[in-house]
Structure formats: structure tokens, C-alpha cells
Amino acid sequence: MSDVQTSLAFRANAARAIKDAPMRAAMRQAADTFGAKRADAFASVADLEALRDRASALRLQVLDRLQEYEEMFASRATRAGATVHRAKDASSAREIIARILADRGAKTVVKSKSMVSEEIHLNAHLEKEGLTVLETDLGEYIIQLVGETPSHIIVPAIHKNRQQVGRLFAEKLGVEYTEDPQVLTKIARRTIREKFLTADAGLSGANFAAAASGSLVLFTNEGNGRMVTTVPPLHIAILSLEKMIPSLADLPTFIRLLPRSATGQSITSYVSVITGTRKPGEATGAKELHIVLLDNGRTEILSGECREILKCIRCGACMNVCPVYRTVGGHSYGWTYPGPMGIILTTLLTGMAKSHPLVDASTLCGACVEVCPVHIPLVDLFLRLRERRVREGFSRPMEKRGMRVFGKAAASPSLFSAGQYLSRTFWPLVRALGGKDVAGRLPRPAKVPFHRRVP
Amino acid sequence: MTSPELVRRFLTNAGNAAAGTHAVSDAAGLRRVLSGIVSRTVPAFCPGLTDKEKAATPSLACRAADYAGAKATVEEVYGAIAETGSLVCVSSGGRAVQAGLLPAHHVAIVASERIFAALDDCFASFAEGPPTNITLVTGPSRTADIELTLAIGVHGPEKLDIIVFSSEPCSDA
């Protein structure tokens, strides 16, 4: 798997993925487990709807005044000792980070999971610059060893089973084969611990940024996020603009929603709030903290008809319940973000020309809307993107012609009846010509139309 | 004064997150619990800064000079949250928050009057500006990255023990 976007090949990717039995078994298991755990976790929340409404309102409040919050965050973080950088796009973010590391002579970087860093293909760039970048989240570590990309935003190696991980560790780390997740986890702990202690820099993302205090907030379970942000002398955090929340007073709302929606935990093992650098007399925190605020298309999305996707807090609940994601897996979508939120972000961030087949990757069943903790109207956004695909001329010529004919027929009863007659008469031919395509799978038209059967 | 109900709720939720939970009401009780959970041969780090940490040190037979070489850390933490069963560890007062991260065993002492009912109460206590690092710790380090099978003790502690210290006999608030 490479950094090249393959969203245009979504249909082919999906057809291939459907034949991958171990992947599909893993996906089913993940989706079912998370679904059940999520329901359990929310059972202890008194008024879930009020909580979702509040979270959604807070996220909209930020989006409505994003620039203001961004400036407030930058000034408060600077006052607390951080250096704030603004990156307009992926390449400027990569260069800023590479420059910070090069200026300090850093050679080794330990990294905790960051989807934004995947979005800008940061690792590949830093490796090209001669740096050693080690992913320390267990799932990310596994896929880094194989050279793949994440297939789920919360559980990156969800598509690998324990036998595959066991063989991988035996081959790459020279340890004895085991398929016991407990033992495999301990092996990773041992291997990565040394690197934490000797790394020149730590690189992390952030789940939220509290504007009023200039704080970064990270939710983690393994403890690697804490290591990356406190052990090395230099910490670089990269986050996209929309991660802002007004203040730490709003954090409880998101603590109650994010882990429950993501993994069904009532809280992750660790929630870290980092405000600036280590001050004189303190013994915690990086001596130098650089925060890279990445736009990479967000400002443009903000002014468009799909702006509500920027409310997303990256919990992954929408993918766990999506019948398409569950069947085709994360890699089929061909870019960083899979599943329902991924379809929308990919289309908006990379452009319709590079991603238009993705907007079909939904049954519009609305399961994603039902679980979204911040009330993103995902189905409405799919429909807007489908309209946009037609407007921008990316729909298939046959589909366009067909729709035009159907539109005319549906507006005229006589034409419609004629069409019904033709479809009954020529159905065997359509089916034969359609072959394996959609036309070939159309159901046989009724001999007597429904409206004539009902008195 | 903290109600016994709040202490109970905190200990229940912390226990549900796989932390070991203990309650004591005096220094002797604290030392008794410690000698039961920290083996005499394990190098244990204790900052020894607060009264409760000073009271704890006699029970640590093998004391490590700093957390880097320790197998266990015994420390008093800033507070706790009943709603989630979390510890609140902060960097104020020159504390190394990572002392509770690197060693395999983390033993946290919480004064009962420092237990907040809800997350909101905890964050309200930082209204004047948060310290460099606030970490909410709920249970030991964990992952489910391999086939969603829970494994305890990834990069952080594999064992977390919490000792609630109620200096006054508990009475209903």
C-alpha cells in the first residue's frame, strides 16, 4: 500500500476486498464489538441527546468564529511557551516540521497516532530527509512494520489477525512466533521503550485544542501519547484547524462522548492536557513545543455547503455501523479517511476529480447519522456531494442520458406507460446485454403495474 | 468534607477500570496497604514531598532515587474524579507526571477531600490557568489493537493501585 490515492478505483478496490475473507471477518468482528460496547457505554449517560446537542452546538460555535478561536489559541499557547506555526497545505506543513527537526539536528522521532500526519504523508517525507520515524501506537507500529496504511481511524491494524501479527513480529523483530496478543503486546512494549528514552523528538496529533488556554488535549489508552509528549526534549504537535474547542470547561462534554463513541469506553486510560512547555522549577513537559496548525483545505470547506463535516471529532462510530465500510474495509476508499465521514472529507479535501466514485459508497441508510455524537447530517452531505458530482460533470454519460430520459417520462403519464410497456417487452434483452452490470441485475418488471392492481 | 458516597462511587468506577482500590484512614493503615502491594525487593520511587508521601516512605524497603530506574512509583496525586474513576495528575509543584507512567506499577494516594464529583468540577479547579500538564489516569495502560483483544500494560503501567486516604472519620456531608 502506498501514499498514492486510489479513490477513483473504489469499485475495483471494493470488488477485490470483498474476496478477502480474513479482512471481512476482522471487520465484522470489529463493527459488532464496537457497536455493542458503544450501546453499553451510553447506557450510563443520563441524557445522551442533550449531550449530543451541546457537543454539536459547541462545534458549530467554533466553526462560526474559527479564525477568532484560532488566533486566541495561538496567542495563549505562545504565552505558555509554545511556538505556533501555520501551514496552509500539506507540503508547507511537511517542510515546517522537517525544518524544525533539521535545525536541532534531530535524527530519531517517536510518533503517536495522528490521522492528520497520515493525511499529509508526513512519515514518508521525514524518512526521505534521512530521519528515523517510529510509530509507537501498537496498531500503527504493526502497519508500519508491513508498510501499509491504517484501515480504521481508531484501530489502524483492524484488518490484521493475530496470526499475521505473530508472523510479522517473528520475521521483522527476530522473536519467537507467538499469536498471543498479550505476549505480542509485551514484545512491542520492550522494543519501543528503548526508543522513547533515546528519541530526539516526539511527534503527536491532538484530539482537541482548547482556545482559551492554548492547551492541546490527547486521548490515549496505551500511554505512548504521554511518552511522546513528555519524555523527549522536543515535542511537535500537528493538528488541523477545526480541532478547536472554546475552553477546557467544554472538555467534559467531549470526554463523555468521544471514548464512548469510539471504543465504548466511558473514558480512555489517559486524557492529557498539555499547556505550553516545561517552566523553571517544573519536572514535566517538553523543553520545546512546536504546534503546527494545518489548514489544508479546511477554510474552503468552511465556506461551502458541507461545512458541518468539520464538526467531526474522529470517533469512527460512523464507519463501525456503515454496511458499506463493514463489507469493503477501510483500504477500499483509497485515501486517509474511510467510511461515511471519510467519503465526505476525501471528496472535499482531494477534489471530486480524484474521488467521485466514493460518493456512491453509501446506501443512505442513515445508520451513521444515528450514531454521530455531534449530529453531522451525513446523509444530507452525501446527497449534496452527489448533486455536485453531476454539476461538475463527473457522472457517467450513460447515467446522465438515462436520468434525462426518465425525467421526461416521469413527467408525462402517456410516456411513462409506454416506457413500462417497453421495459416489460425488452427486459430479457436488457438483462442479457447488462451482463454483470447493474442493468443485468434489474428485477423483472411486473406484468401488471401496481397502480392497476390496487382498486 | 467528602461524603462516603462519593468515595465509594470513585472507588467503584476506578475498580471497573481495572485499578486496585484501597481505603485507609491513618498513616499506619497506609503503610499496611503499601507493604501488601509493593514487594520489599521492588525498587520504588516516592517523591516524599507531601505529608502522606512522607508517611508512606517507611514501608518502602527498596527506595529508588528517581522514577527512571524504578519498578514502582508511590505518590500522592492532585485529586480524583468520582464520575469516571480517574486520577488527576498534574505538573504543579515540580511534580514529574511521567513518574506515574514509566514504572510498571503506579501507586497513587488520593486525599478523600480531593475527590471531585464530576469532570466539570475537576476542570473548574483549573479556571485560573492550567498547569503545563494535566493527565487524567483511568486504570492501567491498555490496548485492543490486535483483534480487539484487551491487553493490559502497553507503554504505561501494567498495574495501578489507588489508596484513598480519609483523614477524618467519614461522615455524611
The tens digit of pLDDT for each residue in A131-158 reads 999 999 999 999 999 999 888 888 889 8
Inter-chain residue contact B98 with A231, CB threshold 8 Å: yes
Give the mean pLDDT of B20-39.
Answer: 96
Answer whether residue B128 shows pLDDT above 80.
yes
Give the pLDDT score at A58: 98
Q: Which of B13, B123, B132 sits opposite A285 (nearest CB)?
A: B132
Cβ neighbours of residue A165 under 8 Å, at least 6 residues apart?
A: A142, A157, A179, A181, A184, B146
Distance of alpha carbon A354 from alpha carbon A351, whole angstroms: 6
The dihedral over CA atoms of A254, A260, A265, A266, expressed in degrees to the nearest 10, equals 50
Integer CA distances (angstroms), A109 to A124, A131, A205, in order: 13, 7, 14
Q: Which of A33, A221, A231 sits opposite B148 (nearest CB)?
A: A33
Residues in chain B, overall count: 173
Residues of A in contact with B106 (CB under 8 A): none
With residue B73 as reference, give the H or E element that holds it: strand B72-76
Answer whether residue A47 shows pLDDT above 80.
yes
Residues of B in contact with A165 (CB under 8 A): 146
Inter-chain residue contact B134 with A162, CB threshold 8 Å: no
Look-up of cell digits 516516592: B46
Helical pair A339-350 and A378-391, crossing angle rounded to 10 deg: 40
Inter-chain residue contact B143 with A80, CB threshold 8 Å: no
Grid coordinates representing A19?
474476496
Inter-chain residue contact B97 with A162, CB threshold 8 Å: no
Give the pLDDT score at A117: 96
Please say whether the beta carbons of A258 and A310 come within 8 A.
no
Q: How many CB atoms lie within 10 A of CB A132?
A: 14
Inter-chain residue contact B146 with A251, CB threshold 8 Å: no
Answer whether residue B171 shows pLDDT above 50.
no
Instruction: Write the ipTM.
Output: 0.95
Helices (H) and strands (E) in chain A, counts: 22, 10
HSE-up of residue A303 (Cα within 13 Å, Cβ side) = 4
Answer whether residue A1 shows pLDDT above 50.
no
Inter-chain residue contact A255 with B142, CB threshold 8 Å: no
Inter-chain residue contact B91 with A224, CB threshold 8 Å: no
Give the mean pLDDT of A48-57.
Answer: 97
Distance of alpha carbon B114 from alpha carbon B122, whole angstroms: 10
Answer whether residue A56 shows pLDDT above 60.
yes
Distance of alpha carbon A187 from alpha carbon A130, whole angstroms: 27
Please say whether the beta carbons of B64 and B96 come within 8 A.
no
Residues of B in contact with A282 (CB under 8 A): 91, 94, 132
Residue B24 vs residue B144, higher pLDDT? B24
Please say whether the beta carbons of B115 and B10 come within 8 A.
yes
Distance of alpha carbon A133 from alpha carbon A141, whole angstroms: 11
Kindly identify which residue of chain B lies nearest to residue A153, measuring between CA atoms: B145
With residue B109 as reference, give the H or E element that holds it: strand B105-111
Kindly identify which residue of chain B lies nearest to residue A225, measuring between CA atoms: B155
Q: How confident is the model at residue B173 (pLDDT cuts 50, 70, 90)?
A: very low
Phi, psi of B52 (to 5 degrees): -70, -35
DSSP label of A156: T
Q: How confident is the model at residue B98 (pLDDT cuts 50, 70, 90)?
A: very high
Q: Tens digits of per-residue pLDDT, B30-42? A: 999 999 999 999 9
Q: Tens digits of per-residue pLDDT, A171-216? A: 999 999 999 999 999 999 999 999 999 999 999 999 999 999 999 9
Q: Is B49 on the interface with A (CB under 8 A)?
A: no
Give the mean pLDDT of A365-378.
Answer: 97
Q: Is B94 on the interface with A (CB under 8 A)?
A: yes
Least confident of A323-332, A430-439, B54-63: A430-439
Q: Which percentage of chain A shows pLDDT scores above 70? A: 99
Please say whether the beta carbons of B161 and B115 come within 8 A.
no
Helix locations, A314-449, DSSP H: 317-321, 323-328, 339-350, 352-355, 367-371, 378-391, 397-410, 413-434
Residue A45 vs residue A116, higher pLDDT? A116
pLDDT, mean over chain A: 93
DSSP string, A194-229: HHHHH-SEEEE--SEEETTTTEEEEEESSSHHHHHH
Distance of alpha carbon A58 from alpha carbon A373, whole angstroms: 12
- Model pTM score: 0.92
Q: Find, among B112, B96, B114, B124, the residue nearest to B165 by Cα.
A: B112
Answer whether residue A258 shows pLDDT above 60.
yes
Q: Which of A138, A226, A275 sits opposite B98 (nearest CB)?
A: A226
Q: What are the strands of the beta sheet with A244-245, ordered from one edge? A: A244-245, A208-210, A215-220, A270-274, B133-137, B86-90, B79-81, B115-116
Kindly identify which residue of chain A lies nearest to residue B119, measuring between CA atoms: A252
Give the pLDDT score at A449: 80
Grid coordinates representing A209?
485544542
Q: How confident is the model at residue A430 (pLDDT cuts 50, 70, 90)?
A: confident
Helices (H) and strands (E) in chain B, counts: 4, 12
Q: Is B117 on the interface with A (CB under 8 A)?
A: no
Choosing among B71, B155, B162, which should be mutated to test the A contact, i.e. which has the most A CBs within 10 A?
Answer: B155
Choosing among A219, A270, A272, which should be mutated to test the B contact, i.e. which has the most B CBs within 10 A?
Answer: A270
Kindly identify which residue of chain B lies nearest to residue A284, measuring between CA atoms: B96
Q: Which of B118, B126, B143 sits opposite A138 (nearest CB)?
A: B143
Residues of A in contact with B129 (CB under 8 A): 213, 275
Instruction: Output the CA angle A205-A207-A208, nearest 5 degrees.
Output: 115
Grid coordinates representing A427?
427486459
Grid coordinates representing A70?
484560532
Answer whether residue A455 shows pLDDT above 90.
no
Q: Is B155 on the interface with A (CB under 8 A)?
A: yes
Answer whether residue A239 shows pLDDT above 90.
yes
Q: Which of B134, B148, B157 sits opposite A30 (nearest CB)?
A: B148
B102-122 per-residue burial string, b: 16 or more CB within 10 A, e: under 16: bbbbbbbbbbbebbbbebbeb
Q: Which of A157, A158, A215 sits opposite B130 (nearest CB)?
A: A215
Give the mean pLDDT of B51-80.
Answer: 94
Integer CA distances (angstroms), A232 to A297, A441, B67, in order: 31, 59, 16
Inter-chain residue contact B146 with A275, CB threshold 8 Å: no
Q: Is B73 on the interface with A (CB under 8 A)?
A: no
Please say whether the beta carbons of A259 and A236 come within 8 A.
no
Give the pLDDT score at B172: 42
Residues of A in contact with B124 (CB under 8 A): 249
Q: Which of B133, B134, B141 sits opposite A230 (nearest CB)?
A: B133
